[in-house]
Amino acid sequence: MERYKQEFIEFMVDCGVLRFGDFVTKSGRKTPFFVNTGFYRNGAQLRRLGEYYARAIHDAFGTEFDVLFGPAYKGIPLSVAASMALSEHFDAEIRYCSNRKEIKDHGDKGILLGSPIADGDKIVIIEDVTTAGTSIEETMPILKAQGNVDVVGLVVSVDRMERGEGEKSALAQIQEKYRMKATAIVTMKEVVEHLYNRPYNGKIIIDDTLKSAIDAYYEQYGAK
């Protein structure tokens, strides 16, 4: 595993973004782990997060696209931080854009904030994590309503590696359905590989008991 991925896993733990316990996902699944990018809460954290995303975006899509779109609400700071990092580290001036939950009828009107989207724009969507693909189902109609655009891909922080509506992973399903590339900074397999029975900051984060719970979760919801 690349060193930057190991660093990103530890960064998530340090920020309280990657947690282990008893949680329920947006899709209603009970899970022993949870990723919540809402716990990135200061400038230093957001700057580092943007750098990790920028590296993953550059590796997967290069810089030959126009707009980085972050669905409201969590995608808004992600799109801003990553577009800044792409500018700083890869000399790429990528426009950022997000949507509003409610259409604004005065001033800067419409459903979008940030850069407008125009015919011919190539767009990469940035999200925190995709479990069952429900967020993309909401996002794609918004983008397609803006004109003849090309949504070239999706990048998330963590690939949970579990089924979407069928037997395949949510990211694999998104790739097939929308004919675009979907990638992640790290996968949950890499997270477990790096943290299982390995001391970090003086303690074992994933011990045998937690590893068994994660394995049981993937027996039920893991992608085939």
Catalytic residues: 104, 106
Distance from C-alpha of 100 to C-alpha of 197, rounded to nearest angstrom: 43
Alpha carbon distances (Å) from 7 to 23, 68, 86, 90, 111? 25, 24, 19, 20, 36
3-class SS at 193? Answer: helix
DSSP string, 135-154: HHHHHHHHHHTTSS-EEEEE
Nearest alpha-carbon partner for 161 in 70, 42, 33: 33
